[in-house]
Chain A
Amino acid sequence: MDPSEVEFLAEKEFVKIIPNFSLDKIYLIGGDLGPFNPGLSADVPVWLALNLKQRQKCRILPPEWMDVEKLEEMRELERKEDAFTPAPSPYYMELTKLLLNHASDNIPKADEIRTLVKDIWDTRVAKLRLSADSFIRQQEAHAQLDNLTLMEINTIREFLLDSLNCMYKLRSNLQPGATKGQFGDY
């Protein structure tokens, strides 16, 4: 999977905006949106919020988790725990990038938030690599990891699956009985 595809899925998340125009309820296939009244907050998906923002028709409100103190707490919690703590949002990385790139004027302390989110990301990815290594080292058949977001899974997916394939085939060398039959096939 491509990071752009993960970003596309992330754009379905809802975010609060304050429009400066008025519009009746719109009926889309995915659901109904609106009605929009200037000055009253509305819940819209991120793709619509970004589009309106770029046309200067709204103001985006930062999501609840995008706050310096909350993120600092989460960062400390993540560093203390060995397992994965629940992520700020299932798409925190993508939302941070999108919102801070397009709407940084609406979000207070944008740079600090960016640094904090990056710290949380680094800690989580390091834990992911540690658990992948112990998974392979002990040659387990199953592993369960809670609270991983799609972006983190995506960065390690290709590598881990290829390595597991190789390990499986090397392990099948230990039982030569099944594959011997096709020798002499030239």
Chain B
Amino acid sequence: MDTPSYFPVPPGVGMEENFLSLDDILLSQERLPVRTECVFPRLGFLEKSSDSQDIPEGTKMELPLWLCKGLYEKKRKVLSVELPKIYKEGWRTVFTADPNVVDLHKMGPYYYGLGSQMLHFDNPENPDIANALLQTFIGRFRRTMDSSQNAYNEDTSVLVGRLDCLEKVLFRSGQNSLNGFQGWEKGQAAQLTASSLVLNYRKRKLVDVQS
């Protein structure tokens, strides 16, 4: 049994984020195309393409997710967020046609996470986006399950390279159970080995000190 030295906080899938989750923190760095609805005085330095002192109304720029979520208001006085192209109609039909073909890592490593966060910004296409996320997940489930349960002691970088971060977490847990079972079958479970927690301390062993 390999107990980890800490339990990582899992990402909050769905519309809520886990504050302490590293995956969610990295997710909120993703940039979204926005259109400003009012003037941002003296913030011209954020917009590199124009040289003005402040950002005029109606500028199209990219802001990270955490900023968009904070600035977004129902009455839409400040920002209006556009959908990134992978959540638009065109790509959605690609995903529903064959989810397994798509390289989700290239599409933004946080496809599911970002898609769920996009639902915060009231968009008429929200139900379609949510549906597309769900169908993509269901379609790719088989491939993830098979590859995680069958790749023992191999280089998995080819298999994992096309997976979204959420699917990578699932892949890892599948690999864990596979490795545990194979290790047990080989008899490794009955051997005493130093725990990884202790190895990490890298203490000098008595044998080394004496000699």
Q: Known contacts being A2-B189, A179-B16, is A162 close to B169, with CB within 8 Å?
A: yes
Contact B174 A174 (CB under 8 A): no
Q: Is the interface of A mostly helix, strand, loop or mixed?
A: helix
B1-42 residues at the A interface, CB under 8 angstroms = 1, 12-16
> In the complex, which residues of chain A have a beta carbon less than 8 angstroms from the beta carbon of B170?
159, 162-163, 166
Chain B residue, CB-CB nearest to A157: B177
Q: Given contacts A4-B1, A4-B184, A162-B169, is CB(A170)–CB(B116) below 8 Å?
A: yes
Contact residues of A between 1 and 33, Cβ < 8 Å to B: 2-4, 7
A83 within 8 A of B: no
The answer to whether the Cβ of B120 comes within 8 Å of any Cβ in the partner chain is yes
Please measure, in the bound complex, the distance between the C-alpha atom of A186 and the C-alpha atom of B66, giving whole angstroms.
10
Number of A residues, CB within 8 Å of B: 36
Contact partner, A173, options B134, B177, B180, Cβ 8 Å:
B134
Query: Are B174's CB and A159's CB within 8 A?
Result: yes
- The segment from A39-47, A58-66, A72-80, A131-139 that touches chain B is A131-139
**Which of these, B126, B148, B169, B189, contacts A176 with CB under 8 Å?**
B126
A-facing residues in B123-145 (Cβ within 8 Å): 126-127, 130-131, 133-134, 137-138, 141-142, 145
A173 touching B189 in the complex, CB below 8 Å, given contacts A4-B1, A157-B177, A163-B170: no
Contact check, B145 vs A171: say whether CB atoms are below 8 A apart: no
Query: Is B70 within 8 A of A133, CB to CB?
Result: no
Instruction: Please determine whether A159 and B149 come into contact, CB atoms closer than 8 angstroms.
Output: yes
Contact of B130 among A151, A167, A170 (CB under 8 A): A170
Contact with B along A143-186 (1 / 0, CB 8 A): 00000000100111111001101110111111010011011001
Residues in A with CB closer than 8 Å to B131 are 174
B9 smallest CB distance to A (angstroms)? 14
Q: Closest 4 interchain pairs by CB?
A: A3-B184, A169-B14, A169-B13, A173-B130
Query: Which positions in A face B, CB cutoff 8 Å?
Result: 2-4, 7, 97, 101, 129, 132-133, 136-137, 139, 151, 154-159, 162-163, 165-167, 169-174, 176, 179-180, 182-183, 186
